């Protein structure tokens, strides 16, 4: 992509409304624009990141056996009356009346609807286990939306719902999602820790939040230091027993404020106690028959008996993750994207558009990158070099390649690694291959 044909509206000044780094950087880097309180347009650079995150989430959900569908944003109020949650949600639920005076709502979550779908179609235990997920825009009418996409009103969420014949099977479904979540966040370059959590309006008695430690986190969290060094489970057999992976992590203390026990925490050796701020990026629940019983979602068991299914639900804040990743990955100059979610892998700083040797070198780089599915953004504008370098630092592409008249004459390019700041000169083809190799190692191409 050529910058001259792209739409990247950078802001020169720090926006006043932004209180945290991710909000400030997303506005400065032309990723989002606020349309109403807590409601954003995703500009091209922001959308590219959002799509990359969505792709990783889908990939890991499907690896763990979840099947994608898509429920609508608008739901009927009657459906929510069946579960008894229509009134519970209060003013956070955006209520709507259509032209025929029917009461509708913009879905804040989908337990009711998925239960209705299940009940409509599934009759026998033979269809289980089943885990259905979707990635859809939700709406929660927060009193005070803030921190940009971290606490918006219209937000993109992945929610999965598992259906099982009994509690033991449902706990295995819970474990599959537990492991899938750790892998998902690790692929995005994040260290997420599963912590005991409150179930809130979803209900149930077993729940974990997946938390990223960051100074700007909205919640206070407590955990054992060893959890920080534990790698994600990685390539596991999702048909097999995953309880070891889960126990390894849940046997160490980790709790959100609501579930925190100071007495338990103080039993940890002092140098193992971590008390910090955290950002919730995922939340999983086991709630058994809470929805299936009142809504009559039952299956016929092998013995002929009809029994309500055991359910769980599993959320990931897809749009919030864009902000969370920036909170975890930035410096004073701008964003530092992990390779797997970067909107482009490489920025090509073209210092002399119109100079035939430079144009040819840039074209050659672009061809090498295209052949290997490396996404590049070429700054072919007539800005000064300094402004182009600052732009690359701000938008945080993993690698910046500079092509100028001197290098073009001698066949050299300069490569800058955004994360370390390290720079080196290399012959053009070697440099391109070096980047391609590094991106491939990082699982980005």
- Which stretches of the chain bind a second copy, using CB under 8 A? 5-7, 9, 30, 33, 35-36, 39-44, 46-48, 50, 65, 67-76, 79, 91-92, 94, 96, 98-99, 102, 104, 106, 113, 116-117, 120-122, 130, 132, 137, 139, 141, 143, 153-154
CA distance 91 to 83: 18
Using the CB atoms, write b or e for 27-40: b if 16+ within 10 Å.
Answer: bbbbbbebeeebeb
CB of 54 to a second copy, least distance (A): 11
**Residue 322 or 336 having the CB closest to a second copy:** 322
**Residue 73 or 199 having the CB closest to a second copy:** 73
**Quick check: helix, strand or coil at residue 136?**
strand
Q: Which residues contact 27 (CB under 8 A, 6 or more apart)?
A: 11, 15, 18, 33, 148
Query: Distance of CA 154 to CAs 137, 150, 212, Å?
Result: 7, 11, 22
**Residue 154 or 289 having the CB closest to a second copy:** 154
CA distance 162 to 111: 10
CA distance 405 to 426: 15
**Residue 151 or 153 having the CB closest to a second copy:** 153
CB of 410 to a second copy, least distance (A): 32
**Residue 49 or 408 having the CB closest to a second copy:** 49
CA distance 139 to 40: 12
CB of 126 to a second copy, least distance (A): 9
**Residue 41 or 261 having the CB closest to a second copy:** 41
**Residue 116 or 348 having the CB closest to a second copy:** 116
Pairing label, strands 346-350, 399-403: parallel
CB of 359 to a second copy, least distance (A): 16
Q: Which residues contact 327 (CB under 8 A, 6 or more apart)?
A: 20, 21, 22, 150, 212, 214, 215, 216, 217, 279
**Residue 96 or 206 having the CB closest to a second copy:** 96
CA distance 190 to 307: 40
Quick one: tokens of 436? 């391609």
CB of 360 to a second copy, least distance (A): 19
> Between the CA atoms of 124, 130, 135 and 141, what dihedral angle is there, to the nearest 10 degrees?
70
Residue recorded with tokens 């050659």: 364
Q: Which residues contact 232 (CB under 8 A, 6 or more apart)?
A: 182, 183, 185, 186
What values do phi and psi take at 9, rounded to 5? Answer: -85, 90
CB of 80 to a second copy, least distance (A): 12
CB of 229 to a second copy, least distance (A): 35
CB of 104 to a second copy, least distance (A): 7
């Amino acid at each position: 992509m050529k910058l001259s044909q792209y739409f990247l509206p950078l802001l020169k000044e720090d926006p006043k409304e932004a209180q945290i780094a991710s909000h400030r950087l997303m506005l400065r880097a032309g990723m989002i624009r606020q349309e109403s309180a807590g409601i954003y347009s995703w500009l091209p650079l922001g959308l590219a990141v959002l799509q990359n995150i969505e792709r990783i989430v889908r990939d890991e959900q499907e690896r763990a056996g979840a099947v994608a569908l898509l429920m609508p944003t608008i739901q009927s109020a009657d459906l929510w009356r069946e579960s008894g949650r229509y009134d519970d949600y209060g003013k956070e639920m955006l209520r709507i009346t259509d032209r025929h005076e029917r009461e509708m709502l913009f879905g804040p979550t989908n337990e009711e609807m998925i239960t209705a779908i299940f009940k409509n179609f599934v009759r026998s235990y033979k269809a289980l286990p089943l885990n259905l997920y979707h990635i859809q825009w939700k709406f929660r009418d927060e009193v005070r939306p803030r921190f940009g996409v971290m606490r918006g009103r219209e937000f993109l969420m992945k929610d999965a719902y598992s259906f099982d014949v009994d509690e033991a099977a449902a706990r295995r479904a819970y474990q599959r999602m537990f492991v899938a979540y750790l892998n998902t966040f690790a692929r995005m370059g994040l260290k997420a820790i599963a912590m005991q959590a409150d179930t809130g309006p979803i209900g149930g008695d077993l729940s974990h939040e997946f938390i990223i430690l960051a100074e700007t986190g909205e919640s206070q969290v407590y955990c054992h230091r060893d959890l920080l060094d534990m790698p994600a489970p990685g390539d596991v057999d999702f048909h097999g027993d995953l309880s070891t992976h889960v126990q390894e992590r849940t046997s160490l203390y980790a709790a959100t404020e609501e579930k925190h026990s100071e007495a338990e925490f103080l039993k940890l050796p002092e140098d193992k106690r971590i008390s910090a701020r955290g950002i919730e990026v995922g939340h999983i629940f086991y709630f058994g028959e809470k929805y299936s019983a009142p809504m009559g979602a039952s299956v016929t068991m092998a013995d002929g008996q009809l029994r309500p299914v055991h359910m769980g639900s599993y959320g990931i804040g897809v749009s919030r993750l864009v902000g969370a990743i920036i909170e975890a990955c930035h410096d004073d100059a701008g964003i530092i994207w992990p390779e797997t979610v970067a909107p482009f892998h490489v920025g090509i700083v073209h210092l002399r558009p119109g100079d035939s040797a430079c144009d040819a070198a840039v074209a050659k780089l672009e061809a090498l990158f295209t052949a290997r599915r490396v996404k590049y953004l070429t700054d072919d504008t007539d800005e000064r070099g300094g402004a182009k370098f600052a732009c690359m630092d701000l938008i945080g592409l993993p690698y910046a390649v500079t092509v100028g008249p001197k290098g073009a004459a001698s066949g050299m390019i300069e490569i800058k690694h955004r994360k370390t700041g390290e720079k080196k000169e290399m012959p053009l083809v070697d440099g391109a291959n070096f980047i391609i190799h590094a991106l491939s190692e990082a699982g980005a191409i």
